[in-house]
A and B are shown apart, each in its own frame.
Chain A
Amino acid sequence: MIDKTLNWVDDRLGVAKGGRTFLDKIFPDHWSFMLGEIALYSFVVLLGTGVFLTLYYVPSAHEIVYHGSYVPLRGQRVSEAYASTVGLSFDVRTGLLMRQAHHWAADIFLGAIAVHMARVFFTGAFRKPREFNWIVGVTMLILGIVNGFLGYSLPDDLVSGTGIRIAYSIIESIPLIGTYVAFFLFGGNYPGTGVIIPRFFIIHVLIVPAILVGLLAAHLGLLVKQKHTQFPGKGKTEHNVVGSPMFPTFMAKTTGFLFMSTAVIFLLGGFAQINPIWQFGQYEPYQISYAVQPDWYMGWLDGALRIMPSWEWVGWGHTIPLEVFLPAVIFPGLIFNILLVWPFIETAWTKDTQYHNLLDRPRDRPKRTAAGAAMLTLLFAVFFASSTDVMANFFSLPLMDVLWFFRFFVPLSPIVAYFLTFKICNEMRNAEGIGSRKRAMIVERSTTGEYTTTESPARPGDHHEELDAIPVPTFIDTTDPELATAAGVRRVIR
């Protein structure tokens, strides 16, 4: 029956040849290859829960009187966007679960991308021939951050509205075109004519997701076309891939992983409250809340704004708000551009034009590892700088001291991290036997009083025996092993 169907399809589409190659695709067995899958599956959850939310959310700044089931808000004038978000949280069954799962999925999506990217960077998986896929990946990260911010802004609550206000001022700070861009985008001076919510909505639910889906298809297509990288090991060369096959082994594992990732996101969505907008209230441009932090992936931008000195440039009848333009436009622009062109920076430096399918151990590439550590340190440092006020309160320190600490810590810590990482990598490379398990030494005293030292025998796992890799078998001889020539012998029929 299955054979017949497959033949029917192959007669019409000729899927057998390519399909077979696809089913035989080998996935290297290493836990770090799972990080990208987390991103993929949280994106799946984002699409699913997102569609659910669009069925109830009203993208409108139009003011109405709230009549829903959340008592403290009854009778207040709120925007339809805010009222419908509160409504889908309280009056739509499972709505709150879907909304919170959507928010958690977004945070996990970007977190998984960041960690996945770090894995690709530190192991050198972006090298020739995979530069395209690196660029596609970085583009998806940028789009993910943008879409996260847009989605966070849609409920029109006090906290997210303040974020939009800041975004408006950041756009305004761009020399020459800033005010025009801001006026066109918002339909006028802040807060505009109420067009910003429907505009953010259509970008958030259609335009960016459509691009993301396209890039995702390209990302996975390139992965299949170019095959996986792999860590060096027994039987692994630049010219092969060793691991388990797409079908059925990887398919089973990854399907199970889809379920488990989704389970974690929904458990978080049900048990860990996130963005309780009914507590923040409707956004009003003259109100503000204290000690509010943005979603984690925006923190580094906020931190850069906080530690920047107040250097406004004024002259020849013009103003350049460098205190905004540098940290909020130039700084992220620089970071994203360095990320995008990193493979080419590295090639220009190493003059390496070889294909690379085997991964590096980070310590074997001390300069790259140090550069990556410096970049991560910089981003973490500005990220922590985004909570200067919370830290000052928590440690009972003057706010000014905390700020001055970060003004020095942010530029200096990456330099320290670079040299420290470089040193550690070199030490690890030069240390003998590092990475292998230590064996106990047995000291024995002979009858004549002579001492000898011998190494204790290997423990299980010290020498992990691996089979030689074979091509994925097509035909499996199901004859009872006892009737076959000898157990465990591969019989090749030629």
Chain B
Amino acid sequence: MSDNSPRLEGPLPTAAIDDPHLLPSTRNPKRMEALAALAMFVGILGFCAFIVAYWVNASTQWEALTLGIGMLGLGVGVISWGKYLMPQGPFVEERHDFHSTDAERESFNAAITGRGGLEVKRRKMLLGVFALGGGVMTLALLIPGVRSLGPKPAKAEDNEGSTDYSLYTTNWKKGSKLVTVGGRLVQVDDLEVGGVLTVFPQGYEGSSPDQVILIRLADLGPNDPPYPIAPPGRTDYGVQGYVAYSKLCTHLGCPVGLYQERTQQLVCPCHQSIFNVNAGCIPQFGPAPRPLPQLPITVSPTGQMLANGSFDQAVGPGFWERP
């Protein structure tokens, strides 16, 4: 392919009006013309109907129907015009090589490596300083661009930090009153056996890291032996048949919202992690890697449910700094 000359010099290709390349591809152009016009006319009616539909405040379905008919009609009309009545060819167009001639390449490369490259070689120091300047400028601009966005995550040692800044702490403390999301204090006789309730420490209703699921496993009085729950070290974490676990799934932090009483399982609806409530909420199945942290709870003399401490670990999904 030798094509360095401009394409459109010399006599241009011409054709007669009855050239088969220019003829409509339909046998009956008159009928097709009428059909295309009809389709476009239906389209116009559709758009008018849309204006009326809007005017009379018709339903969304009417708006879509009228607009759809308008656009379909116009579209079918224009496409039939293009497909059946316009020159279909086949026409041909030559391709041209993408690459330049060898001489052009050489002069281009020479300009870069020779003219520019020589200058770069001569003034290596300047180039280095310029590169350094560019790098430092980028860094200088990136620092506020990134650092202003949000706070640094607090370290594990800063265990008194706000939950806004720390992944390790929650607002649960020894003596925190258990309240519903509406702020109602939770009493020891609030739940039937098999009942569950999402609770928060008083003053932090609706907070994401503090959400706890309270489950009543058995109807036990204050003097009954504690409900047997594994691991054995946690027998005093529950009280009067109640247990409380962090509601944040250890997989991806979804609320573990489904409690199946018959099988004593907590199920996360996001990715189907299943936790065994009787065995300290260890993951029984699915992608969750760790048990749900358990919140130690107790009951005040007046029957008010209280936290008997905080979680012994970070709640929710895993992260790099988690020990």
Contact = CB atoms under 8 A, between A and B. Distances in A.
A148 B89 CA distance: 41
Contacts of B272: 306, 388-389, 399, 403
Nearest to B57: A93
A288 B319 contact: no
Interface in B143-200: 146-147, 149-153, 163-167, 181, 198, 200
Contacts of A227: 93, 95
A185 B91 contact: no
Interface in A283-335: 284-292, 302, 305-312, 314, 317-321, 323-324
Interface residues of B, number: 99
Given A172-B319, A193-B164, A240-B95, A472 B13 contact: yes
B238 to A, nearest CB: 21
Contacts of B76: 256, 260
A270 B59 CA distance: 9
Given A170-B252, A310-B288, A469-B91, 10 more contacts: A97-B67, A183-B150, A190-B316, A227-B93, A252-B82, A253-B78, A306-B272, A319-B322, A467-B89, A472-B91
A172 B249 CA distance: 14
Nearest to A188: B164
Given A129-B98, A184-B150, A286 B206 contact: yes
A456 B20 CA distance: 31
B289 A357 contact: no
B4 to A, nearest CB: 15
9 contacts: A166-B270, A178-B320, A180-B153, A240-B95, A259-B71, A266-B64, A287-B255, A473-B13, A476-B15
B75 A258 contact: yes
A249 B57 contact: no
Contacts of A72: none
Interface string B230-255: 00000000000000000100011111
A375 to B, nearest CB: 24
Interface stretch (B105-113, B120-128, B217-225, B279-287): B279-287
Interface residues of B, dominant DSSP = loop
Contact of A260 (B1, B75, B253): B75
B55 to A, nearest CB: 10
B93 A473 contact: no
Contact of B286 (A20, A310, A319, A468): A310
A176 interface: yes
Interface stretch (A109-117, A135-143, A477-485): A477-485
Given A185-B149, A488-B18, A324 B252 contact: yes
Given A176-B320, A306-B287, A248 B253 contact: no
A493 B14 contact: yes
Contact of A470 (B63, B91, B147, B269): B91
Interface of B: 1, 6-8, 11-22, 43, 54, 57, 60-61, 63-65, 67-72, 74-83, 86-95, 98, 146-147, 149-153, 163-167, 181, 198, 200, 206-209, 211, 247, 251-255, 257-258, 269-273, 283, 285-290, 316-323
A162 interface: yes
Given A245-B91, A488-B19, A189 B149 contact: no
A397 B320 CA distance: 37
A173 B152 contact: no
Given A179-B153, A190-B209, A290-B258, A168 B90 contact: no
Contacts of A185: 149-150
A455 interface: no
A252 B82 CA distance: 5
Contacts of B8: 17, 20-21
A169 B317 contact: yes
Contact of B71 (A260, A284, A490): A260
**7 closest residue pairs by CB, A with B:** A270-B64, A252-B82, A259-B75, A256-B79, A312-B289, A256-B78, A321-B318
Nearest to B62: A270
Contact of B92 (A242, A250, A253): A242
A257 interface: yes
A309 B288 CA distance: 8
A290 B98 CA distance: 56
A173 B64 contact: no
A312 B290 contact: yes
Given A310-B288, A317-B323, A189 B78 contact: no
A338 B109 CA distance: 32
Nearest to B78: A256
Contacts of B75: 256-260, 263
B14 A476 contact: yes
B270 A288 contact: yes
Given A183-B150, A309-B287, A321 B91 contact: no
Given A179-B321, A189-B165, A494-B11, A323 B18 contact: no
A288 B14 contact: no
A282 to B, nearest CB: 11
Interface in A449-494: 466-479, 481, 484, 487-494
Q: Name the residue among B21, B98, B209, B285 with the largest chain A CB count within 10 angstroms.
A: B21
Contact of B317 (A324, A357, A493): A324
A24 interface: yes
Contact of B255 (A178, A188, A285): A285
Contacts of A256: 74-82
